[in-house]
Structure 1
Amino acid sequence: MLAAFGFEALGVVIGDMYFVDPTPLAGQETPERGVRLELRLIDRAAPRGSIYAGIPIAFTRPVWRVDLFGSTESPPGTLDRAHHHPRFNGWEPGRRHFVPELSADPLSWLADQLADPAAVLARAGIEADDFTEADVTGLAAAAPEIVAVVKRMLDGVRDGQLAPAPAEPVAAARTGWL
């Protein structure tokens, strides 16, 4: 499942994921599943055709990522691998940051982060000319709705409806939109 929120030059995308990493971190050798949220830059082009034509919209480079993941060997709903990536280098995320508050109460932590998008963008190293004040106010205002979508997806993962495991065992897998 994929959900998207678009503002002026920024957008939020949210999706469920199942992930098998062939080069896991120490202590994280089992597959993980959960919900990923990314703050991304948006490109909006002119309509291609008449005034009635669709407008090309692209959610481009991610600038911040939150992975609300749990090991597949943990009880469903356990987010023992919850972390975030405060910065990206191009398309590649920086290292995982494990924050006790994120693991203890992920939805409250996420709501707090989304309530102050300017701080998130500053930590991500995004220049002020890459986004607008409307992005900041729109994202902060939409934070409760964004968190509600994340909660619904986490509930779907916990209940086994989202982020399914591959049908056959695999050495590496990444399912989901993000």
Structure 2
Amino acid sequence: MLYAFGFERVGIAVADLHFRDPDPLPGQETPESGVRVELRLLERGELPGTIYSARPITIGRPLWRVDLLQDADAPPHTFDRTHHHPRFDAWDPGPRVFVEELSRDPLLWLTSKLSDVPALLKESGIPAGEVPEADADALRRAAPEIADTVRRLLARVWSGDLRHDATDGGAEPVTSMRVSWL
């Protein structure tokens, strides 16, 4: 499932994520499930027809990411693999950064980050002009709604409504898997 919050030049994309790393970090060999949140560049296309036509929208390159992940078989609210990627090299994220506050209360941490976009940009090494001030203000105002969307999506992952098995349909577990829009 994919949710998008769009502003003028940037937006927030939120999706469920089910992942099995083919080269996991020690202690993270089992599949992961949760929700991914990304700050992305947006682009409005030209109207392809009349004034009433649907507008093409591109959700472009990521600027920042947080993964509210945990062992797929762990009880809800474990957040044992929750991390963020403050920096990207084009489309590839930098290493996972684990933060105690993020694992302890992910929605509070996320709301705090989205409420202070200038600090988030500075931490991520993104030039201040990349995100217009109006977008930063709109993102701050939308932070509680975004966090609520994340909370509801996490509940659906934990309930099994959005669960994906780590098998290829047979009895053998897969060694690599990524099911998500993001």
Give TM-score, length-normalised by structure 2: 0.93
Following superposition, the deviation at residue 75 of structure 1 comes to 1.9
Q: 2:43 touches 2:60 (CA, 8 Å); kept in 1?
A: yes
Distance 1:172 1:145 in 2: 33
Distance 2:53 2:119 in 1: 37
Which amino acid is 2:179 matched to? T
Unmatched tracts of structure 1, length 5 or more = none
Q: 2:40 touches 2:60 (CA, 8 Å); kept in 1?
A: yes
1:174 equivalent in alignment to 2:178: yes
Following superposition, the deviation at residue 125 of structure 1 comes to 1.9
Q: 1:17 touches 1:163 (CA, 8 Å); kept in 2?
A: no
Which residue of structure 1 aligns with residue 79 of structure 2? 79
Which residue of structure 2 aligns with residue 113 of structure 1? 113
Which amino acid is 1:72 matched to? A
Which amino acid is 1:177 matched to? W
Q: 1:163 touches 1:176 (CA, 8 Å); kept in 2?
A: no
**1:140-168, Cα deviation, whole Å (9 max, x unpaired):** 00000000000001111111112422453
Which residue of structure 1 aligns with residue 59 of structure 2? 59
Distance 2:45 2:122 in 1: 26
Q: Report the more deviating stretch, 109-118 or 67-76.
A: 67-76
Distance 2:107 2:163 in 1: 19
Q: 1:16 touches 1:163 (CA, 8 Å); kept in 2?
A: no
Give TM-score, length-normalised by structure 1: 0.95
Q: 1:61 touches 1:90 (CA, 8 Å); kept in 2?
A: yes
Unmatched tracts of structure 2, length 5 or more = none
Which amino acid is 2:33 matched to? R
Distance 1:133 1:22 in 2: 40
Q: 2:12 touches 2:40 (CA, 8 Å); kept in 1?
A: yes
Identity %: 52
**1:18-70, Cα deviation, whole Å (9 max, x unpaired):** 10111101111111000000000111122112111111111100011000000
Which amino acid is 1:56 matched to? P
Which amino acid is 1:110 matched to? L
Following superposition, the deviation at residue 96 of structure 1 comes to 0.5
Which residue of structure 2 aligns with residue 164 of structure 1? 164
CA RMSD across the alignment? 1.2
Distance 1:112 1:131 in 2: 17
| 1:1-178 equivalence runs, <5 A | 1-166=1-166, 168=169, 169-178=173-182
Local SS of the residue matching 2:97:
coil
Q: 2:8 touches 2:42 (CA, 8 Å); kept in 1?
A: yes
